[in-house]
Structure 1
Amino acid sequence: MKTVLYRADSRGYANHGWLEARHTFSFANYFNRERMNFGVLRVLNDDKIDGGQGFGMHPHDNMEIITIPLEGDLEHKDNMGNEAVIREGDVQVMSAGTGVYHSEYNHNPDKALKLFQIWLFPNKQNVQPRYDQISIRDVAIPNRLYQILSPNPDDQGVWIHQDAWFYLGNFEAGKTDSYTLKREVNGLFVMVIDGQVTISGNKLSARDALGIWEMNKIEVEATSDARILLMDLPMQVK
């Protein structure tokens, strides 16, 4: 088993006044040649957006973009005609493909929005752009990892153009679970949202992350009440 540890306080940081952003990987003005990606995981941004503020219309192409609100509500518009509000307990996906323009704003004028924005390299180039969002409240299982994303449109959660699976876990202190890789060529990237966990002997706190590869299975133990995001994804970018 091989691992790489990303402590919360080692991430890139940007303060734009209305936006505070922490970057696990190189992004915008943050550049670290040792932190360009983890397999097909290119971006993991931890954003806090002031009330009523956000990103105006801007383009993307050939990227799978996943947004997970942690607190608050995100207002989305795009040139495909989609207008939606993505709330805490939802997950949003956008396959940028041949090109898409979209805007993202904090839907609430009086409180901050916190979210993860995640970009994965796709396994197919120049696909037809698409948008989807779902509620994941009904599939949440206490003290277990539950799936929110996969490559299969008929599977639980949203789907993307990549051989990747995402799971969330909401654990009480002392609870444990295990996870087995979907594919031998994949690795795992685990982000601790809140609390403290131990993963295969590695002690992690809030916003710490751990990349793991060349293994088949991991064990997760919550040493306090905790939330984690687990990403099972290819280690090779095609």
Structure 2
Amino acid sequence: MKTIYHSASSRGYANHGWLRSAHTFSFANYYNRARMHFGVLRVINDDYIEGGGGFGTHPHNDMEIITIPLEGDLEHRDSMGNGGVIRNGDIQVMSAGTGVTHSEFNANSDRPVELLQIWVFPREKGITPRYEQMHIADSAKPNDFQQIISPYKEDEGLWIHQDAWFHLAHFDSGVSKGYNLKKPGNGVYIFVIRGKAKVGDQILDKRDGYGIWDTNHFPLEALEDSEILLMEVPIELPK
């Protein structure tokens, strides 16, 4: 088994006034050639947007974009005609494919919105853009892994154009559970949203990241009440 540890404090940071963002991997003005991606996992941005702030209309292409609100309300509009608000307990997927433009704004003027935005390289370029969102909180599995992303339309959660599986784990302190990888050649990037966890001998605090590959199983233990995101992705980049 191979591993890589990224402490929360080692991330790149940007403060634009209305936006404070922490970058697990190189993004925008943060560049670290040792932190470009984990397999096909290209971006994990931990964003805090002040009331009334947001990203104006901007383009994307050939990327699977997953947005997970943590606090507050995020308003989305795109060139495919989609518009609406997503909140904590929801998840959003946008397949940029051949090209799409969208905007993202804090839907409230009096309180911030916090979110994770995650980018994954698709298995092939030039796909038709698509958008989907889902409320996932009602199907949460306490002290178990809740699948929120997979490669399959008919499977639990939303789907993306990649052999990737995302799970949320809401674990009480002291709970330990093993994770079995879905596909040979994949790795898992673990991101602690809140709390504290342990994988093997590695302690992970809030917003720490930990990549694991060359294994088909590993144990995860919550040292506090914790919310943890597991992102299983191919390690080899698409050709």
Q: State the TM-score, normalizing by the size of structure 2.
A: 0.99
Aligned to 2:62: 62
Alpha-carbon distance in structure 1 between the residues aligned to 2:155 and 2:139: 12
Matched letter for residue 95 of structure 1 = S
Aligned to 1:147: 147
Q: Give the 3-state SS of the residue equivalent to 1:138 in structure 2.
A: helix
Aligned to 1:27: 27
Matched letter for residue 125 of structure 2 = Q
Aligned to 2:235: 235
Alpha-carbon distance in structure 1 between the residues aligned to 2:125 and 2:27: 22
Alpha-carbon distance in structure 2 between the residues aligned to 1:148 and 1:57: 27
Alignment map for 1:104-123 (pairs within 5 Å): 104-123=104-123
Greater than 6 Å deviation, 4+ residue runs: none
Alignment map for 1:14-93 (pairs within 5 Å): 14-93=14-93
The reply on whether 1:133 has 2:144 as its aligned counterpart is no
Q: Give the 3-state SS of the residue equivalent to 1:124 in structure 2.
A: coil
Q: State the TM-score, normalizing by the size of structure 1.
A: 0.99
Aligned to 2:189: 189
Q: Give the 3-state SS of the residue equivalent to 2:126 in structure 1.
A: coil
In the TM superposition, what is the alpha-carbon distance from 1:147 to its structure 2 partner? 0.2
Alpha-carbon distance in structure 2 between the residues aligned to 1:62 and 1:180: 29
Aligned to 1:163: 163
Alpha-carbon distance in structure 2 between the residues aligned to 1:73 and 1:156: 24
Aligned to 2:3: 3
Q: Give the 3-state SS of the residue equivalent to 2:42 in structure 1.
A: strand
Matched letter for residue 4 of structure 2 = V
Alpha-carbon distance in structure 2 between the residues aligned to 1:195 and 1:34: 27
> How many residues are paired up?
238
Matched letter for residue 7 of structure 1 = S
Matched letter for residue 139 of structure 2 = V
Aligned to 1:95: 95
Q: Give the 3-state SS of the residue equivalent to 2:237 in structure 1.
A: coil
Q: Give the 3-state SS of the residue equivalent to 1:9 in structure 2.
A: helix
Deviations 1:194-233 (A, max 9, x none): 0100012211100001000001101111111111000010
Deviations 1:19-60 (A, max 9, x none): 000000000000000000000000000000001110000000
In structure 1, list runs of 5 or more residues that go unmatched: none
Q: Give the 3-state SS of the residue equivalent to 1:115 in structure 2.
A: strand
Alpha-carbon distance in structure 1 between the residues aligned to 2:128 and 2:183: 26
Deviations 1:98-148 (A, max 9, x none): 000000001111111100000000002110000000000122011111100
Alpha-carbon distance in structure 2 between the residues aligned to 1:66 and 1:15: 22
Alpha-carbon distance in structure 2 between the residues aligned to 1:234 and 1:94: 19
In the TM superposition, what is the alpha-carbon distance from 1:188 to its structure 2 partner? 0.4
Matched letter for residue 193 of structure 1 = I
Alpha-carbon distance in structure 2 between the residues aligned to 1:66 and 1:109: 24
Q: Give the 3-state SS of the residue equivalent to 1:230 in structure 2.
A: strand
- C-alpha root-mean-square deviation of aligned residues, in Å? 0.6
Q: Give the 3-state SS of the residue equivalent to 2:9 in structure 1.
A: helix
Aligned to 1:211: 211
Q: Which moved more, 1:39-48 or 1:198-207?
A: 198-207
Q: Identity of counterpart residues, as a percentage?
A: 58
